[in-house]
Amino acid sequence: MFDELQREFSFWRWASQLAAAVCGPMIVFTILASVVELRDTLLAQLFSYAFVAALAMTLAIAIYAFAPVTAREGRWVWVIPAVLECLAIIWQISIGGIGSAWYVFFFVRGPGRGEASLGLLLTYPTWACCCYSAGMWWRRRATSKYVMHR
């Protein structure tokens, strides 16, 4: 815990974890989606988001197990994807109005429209990064409680 306070934030550790958080779950999910033909239904989409979340959290926990020093940067992986998504929404509102942003980022017509049919603001990569950061935060917190109670 104290080694985190003594060292500076590493951009390279953060960037490599960002790349892993985006690419790792997306590659596995893409392979699974090509093997198992999921229909574009609400249940399949909920499963997809849950699966991506599980992959990202598992990846964070595995990386923490091999390199606990990465926890500081891993907890901040969500920032850039979330900011970019917010900027995309603002951009869409500015060029097409609130209606076009609603159509692009939220559901309008139910299943059959991919990610847009869920009514979620988060795309899969942003969701994966948020779940990765949550997994890293959880693992770091669980470890620090264990160390402090020893």
Q: In the predicted model, is pLDDT for residue 144 greater than 50?
A: yes
Domains of the chain: total = 1
pLDDT tier at 108, thresholds 50, 70, 90: very low
Rg (CA), the chain: 18
Note the pTM of the prediction, 2 decimals: 0.77
- List the one residue out of 142, 145, 149 whose CA is nearest residue 64: 142
What is the per-residue pLDDT across 3-54, written as a single tens digit (0 to 9) for each?
Answer: 455 567 888 999 999 999 999 999 998 888 888 877 767 777 788 889 999 9
Range of the domain at 70: 2-148
Q: In the predicted model, is pLDDT for residue 113 greater than 60?
A: no
What is the per-residue pLDDT across 43-78, written as a single tens digit (0 to 9) for each?
Answer: 777 888 899 999 999 999 999 999 988 888 999 999
Residues 103 and 101: their CA atoms lie apart, in Å, by 5
Q: In the predicted model, is pLDDT for residue 134 greater than 80?
A: yes
- Contact at 8 Å (CB) between 77 and 129? yes
- Contact at 8 Å (CB) between 49 and 127? yes
